[in-house]
Chain A
Amino acid sequence: MMRDVLACVLGLPLLGLHLALTIAMAPVVRGLVDGCVVGLGGRGVPPVLMRWRWILALARRRGVRVAGTAATGLAAGATLAAALAACCLVPSFAFGLPGAGLSDLLLVTGLLGLARLGLVVTALGPGVARAGRAAVSAAMGLAMMQAVMPVVIAVVGLATGVTGIDGLLARMHDADVAGLQTPLVLAAMALLVAGLDEAWGGADAQAADMLANVTGPDRAALELARDLAVLAWMTLAGDMIWPGGLAMATGAMPPAPAALLAGVGAWLLRTAVLCAGLVAARLVILSLDRGLRTRLGLAMLFGVLAVVVLFAGREFG
């Protein structure tokens, strides 16, 4: 009991650090991706911190709320809270922190879906045609991708015997994972394809349509929630692809400072690699609406491939 309390007390500052780093990094990552996409399109490279500046400027601006949408005014704050909760549950540079027992793969995908749903509700609130149309498309994508998530969770459950994120990372840290690496990488790819809406061309235009009638602090909260969701998806997939870079708490004691620094470096590296993949996807893939069917098929293909590779590894390897 005392040991648990001690671990909790010692781990709380690390959890705070994880949350602060995640919040600080999220708009930077989005800015980096947007900058690379624009730069590779030959339209000049905007500064990486531009998105942060925009969010802060929005937060200082006076908001406008369309008549009759007071009930949906709370949606912006709830969306940001759901995204923050999801980020708390996804380890970035260390695992075994306080609250790690709450994290579950299906739950985290559900919370990130909830953050997406908050955008949809905000867009549908004023009853405007263009925003409503974009929101219906977003809701459609969210509902369609629900079919993929259980398959991904099945791969993780069959491979490691647990579906909790912390337990999964601990198993991959400890056990011989030679045969599990490829299926988990494929499952992470399926997760990214299904969950990360921003990877697809037209996502920014769709979000701009959805949030056209929101400004001020509400808009700032929603934009920050979008960025946090992107970073949470990338961190989750990165953890499944390369869990070795994460620092692990030993007993009640937090990880050593050197291990923590190495963990932060590995997180940045994983995120940078996944950003490069995101930029490539945004430059190559079709538009969002036309791509929804392709995206569903691709995500399902990755999931099924992960199952096949998992069993092929058990049969022959």
Chain B
Amino acid sequence: MSLSLESVDSVVNGNLHLSQINLSLQPGSFNVLLGRTLAGKTSLMRMMAGLDRPTSGRVLMDGADVTGIPVQKRNISMVYQQFINYPNLTVRENIASPLRLAKTNAAEVEKRVLETADMLQITPFLDSYPLALSGGQQQRTAMARALVKDASVILFDEPLVNLDYKLREELRSELRELFKIRNAIAVYATTEPNEALALGGTTTLLHEGKIIQTGPSAQVYREPANVIAADLFSEPPINLISGQVKDNEVIFGESVHFPLNQDLRNLTNGGYQFGVRPSHIGLVPHNDDDLELSMKVELAEISGSETFLHLTSPQFNLVVQLSGVHAYHTDAAIKVYLPIHKLFVFNLDGDMVQSPFALVNA
């Protein structure tokens, strides 16, 4: 079963929630919707589910128009960020509920419940009630209920956001494994770039109700179409520096100059925004033409195995991502090295002029 949206608009109380959405999702595909809070992810999923009707445009399943068909008549499951289960039913009956509703015979129900519980590692809790379980187990139960019936579309609306990061790690890789062997369309909404990359599949970037870019997740990450895409798909945020190209030189801010050579030589004179990913800046130079920058440490954020340095200078601020644990005092002086060949170049309208990844493939 394929699912397509054609020119879908949604206007609620005069506010544009979705604008000109065109998407085509294939059976067996894993589709991530990445965007900030209120970007339109939930609105879009509700259209797919049939919980809401678009103001204009069409929703098609296998080419047939289902725009006006309600959720009960579409073969769809949904998992929400809150752990939603029937508190008065055991885990077993929670998982069985969609099958019972579909009048599946008892032997088949039993078989499917056990299979699904096994897959999500909640078999030992089948006779417990949801509220007696941990958050992770409750969400596994909700996921099992969504997965037990053969839904053709399964929608996940930030399902892991209320779990701690170790559980997220586990459930994320389990989900990815599960969908390898299913022929359903999975749609997964998240605000976190790293989650989109970890899930793989296709990523669609949503911003203010519009689709900014769609493609294989790692490719969208490496070749963002514009500044918004680069910014949405970067955690920590991509560094953006305003600069000028003039007389065979690049000027960042006012005082940082470097020659316009090698990878940047095709840039014409004028203003640009230069982007550099936090992980591409280092504490030691790796290339002869790396740009040395003297900065001040505002904060060293340490994630356990990585360090994020928030740096400032009179010209611009930078975030640097380092592997390993590096402690710095606030306001310490530091030199960092920015590799010129890893710069993204955007014009003043924010469109991509040059991506470092494209150069590698050239």
Q: A and B from one assembly?
A: no
Chain B positions near chain A (C-beta within 8 angstroms): none
